[in-house]
Amino acid sequence: MSSLTGISGLKPGYEKAVEQAGGPHLQVQIMLKKEDGSIGPDTKAYIFRNSRENLQTDNTVYPSNGPLKVPSNSLGFIMYGLQYEFTDYKDITSYLRGFDPNEPPTGTAHGAVHCSEQFPPQFFTFAVHLDGSLFKDGVESRYHHLYSSTDFDLTEDENNLLINSIKLTESLYKITNSSEKYTEYLAQALIERDLS
């Protein structure tokens, strides 16, 4: 666990990008073949998020700024981001709404507080080929089981691909049973103890 940010599994070098995006999200970094033949990342990453209207039923993430045009010199993608875990859907809607100190019956004016369990956000990263298949050897993957598929389309001139959405196996707003999470943490601690 990263002590600086409280994010589980955060890899060095991703801190600033993850913090700037804020909240549950997936970032797509396009890998390009440059004119000199070298391979490197595009100069920016593109943010994808779950649709707030369909959080309970849709694991698909959508580009924040409309369909993503994939340059013709693209080789593939590195995808990374954060998955948040909540104990129930009420905690998700409360998180999305933000804290209101005057909301009855938990507002401070009413002498009560709202309590909920919080789990550290889960960092994930994986690489994807231009054809949409998972590239397990592309980067040191973490939680690549989240990836399912990419919904591609063609631009109007049919010269470039567009990414309309990315299908995940779980929502970035995951509902987690607290006793299962405790068991997971306990098993992880026992494994780490046995390895040391």
Classify residue 181 as exposed, middle or buried by CB count within 10 Å of its CB (0-12, 13-18, 19+). middle
Domain spans in the chain, listed from the N-terminal domain onward: 15-195
Q: What is the pLDDT along the chain (196 residues), one digit of tens a residue?
A: 333 356 666 667 677 666 777 789 999 999 999 999 999 999 888 999 998 888 888 899 999 998 898 998 999 999 999 999 888 888 888 888 876 666 666 555 555 555 666 788 888 889 999 888 988 887 888 888 889 888 888 777 677 788 999 999 999 999 887 777 678 778 878 888 888 7
Closest by CA to 139, choosing from 126, 149, 122, is 126
Locus of tokens 């981001």 = 81
Note the pLDDT tens digit of each residue in 160-184. 788 999 999 999 999 887 777 678 7
pTM: 0.77
